[in-house]
Every structure is written in C-alpha cells, then in structure tokens.
C-alpha cells in the first residue's frame, strides 16, 4: 500500500512522540531505505531529542518493527474503503485505486511495503517474516474479492493483480515515470471488468 493511506502524526503539543518517530521512520525508510535510516536522522525528522528515542525504541529494529505495524494497521483503513463498495469488482477496482493513488511517490521511491519487504528479506529474520506476512495480507484481500466472484482460481488471480502492481511500481521507480502507474491502473481495471 502506498504511504498516502497512512496518516502521519503532526508535530505539536499533545502529539505523541512515539507516533511522530514511527511516522518519520516510515517516511524515511520509504524514501531512503532501511540501511540509510538511522535513529539519529529519525529523531531529527520527528523533532524529538535523540535521547528520547531510546525511551521508545532500544534499537533500530524495534523502530522498524513499529513501522511494519503501521502497514499492518493500514488494513483497517483499506477495509473501510472497500466496505463502501457493493460488488467484488468495484472493491477490486477500489483496491487498485488505493495501490496506485500515490503515483508520484511510487515513481520516485517505489512501492512502500514492497520495497521494505525486499530490503528486509535479505536478512531472513523474524522482522522480515512479519513484513512478508503484512504484504501477504494484501494478496488475501484481493483473493477474497475474487472468491466472491465465484472464481476457483481466486488465489492465482490475486497473485496476478498484486504482481502486476509490484512490477509496474518497479518499472515506474526505475524509469522515474509516474505515468506508468496510470497505465497500470487502466489495464488492471479493464482486466477486472473482463473477469466473469
């Protein structure tokens, strides 16, 4: 899912420092990658003293774990968006709209969760497995809609939809071409319409 589906915490009195740190880390990980994201940089971006960071997160992995949790919590928002649509096809099109809504950011930085999973996968640890599970939920959301269409190949269709999105996201990012995301959205909508 795109970062536009996640509401970032704003600076100001009464706002939670932890939420600001996680929001800043999520943005920074998407824009700079895991390796280039440091607790010091996150603290500065969140306008939180570095010493306070360690109160909430003992390690960078603790902070990354909280970032993964934000992607997991995005599914509540996604469920609310999909619930506004009456048919499985309209819900699938709404899912495509969510996936492609931040085309300029995708073209600049790649798919937020896809990029994160790709980076963390190289570690092959519990955090990488948690991120992969969050990404897997996206496939499940699509699969459920195809099942409601009565398709016995619902899993395959869901994989095709998500793989198409990830492929276009990679191409758009590599070529720095946000128009490719628009092309993706139109192609996926036509494909969804063609499914009976």
Instruction: Indicate where the chain has its CATH 1.10.357.10 domain(s).
Output: 64-194
Fold of 64-194: Tetracycline Repressor; domain 2 (1.10.357)
Q: What is the pLDDT of residue 1?
A: 62
Along the 196 residues of the chain, how does pLDDT read in single tens digits? 655 444 444 444 435 999 999 999 999 999 999 999 999 999 999 999 999 999 999 999 999 999 999 999 999 999 999 999 999 999 999 999 999 999 999 999 999 999 999 999 999 999 999 999 999 999 999 999 999 999 999 999 999 999 999 999 999 999 999 999 999 999 999 999 999 8
Q: What is the pLDDT of residue 14?
A: 34
CB-based contacts of 190, cutoff 8 Å, min separation 6: none
Distance of CA 29 to the CA centre of its chain: 12
Q: What is the pLDDT of residue 196?
A: 87
Tokens describing residue 63: 């902070």
Alpha-helical regions (H) of 33-125? 39-46, 50-56, 60-83, 88-100, 103-109, 112-121
Which residue in 71, 58, 177 sits closest to 120, CA to CA? Answer: 71
Instruction: Indicate where the chain has its CATH 1.10.10.60 domain(s).
Output: 8-58
Q: What is the pLDDT of residue 52?
A: 93
Domain 8-58 has CATH 1.10.10.60: yes
Q: What is the pLDDT of residue 8?
A: 44
């Amino acid at each position: 899912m795109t970062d536009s589906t996640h509401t970032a915490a704003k600076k100001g009195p009464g706002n939670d420092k932890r939420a600001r740190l996680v929001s800043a880390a999520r943005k920074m990980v998407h824009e700079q990658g895991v390796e280039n994201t440091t607790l010091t940089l996150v603290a500065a971006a969140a306008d939180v003293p570095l010493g306070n960071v360690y109160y909430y997160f003992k390690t960078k992995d603790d902070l990354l774990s909280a970032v993964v949790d934000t992607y997991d919590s995005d599914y509540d928002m996604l469920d609310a968006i999909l619930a506004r649509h009456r048919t499985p096809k309209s819900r699938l099109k709404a899912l495509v709209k969510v996936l492609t809504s931040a085309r300029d950011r995708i073209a600049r930085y790649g798919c937020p969760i896809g990029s994160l999973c790709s980076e963390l996968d190289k570690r092959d640890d519990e955090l990488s497995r948690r991120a992969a599970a969050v990404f897997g939920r996206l496939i499940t959301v699509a699969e459920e809609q195809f099942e409601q269409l009565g398709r016995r190949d619902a899993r395959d269709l869901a994989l095709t939809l998500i793989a198409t999105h990830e492929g276009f996201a990679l191409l758009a990012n590599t070529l720095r071409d946000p128009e490719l995301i628009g092309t993706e959205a139109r192609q996926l909508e036509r494909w969804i319409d063609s499914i009976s």
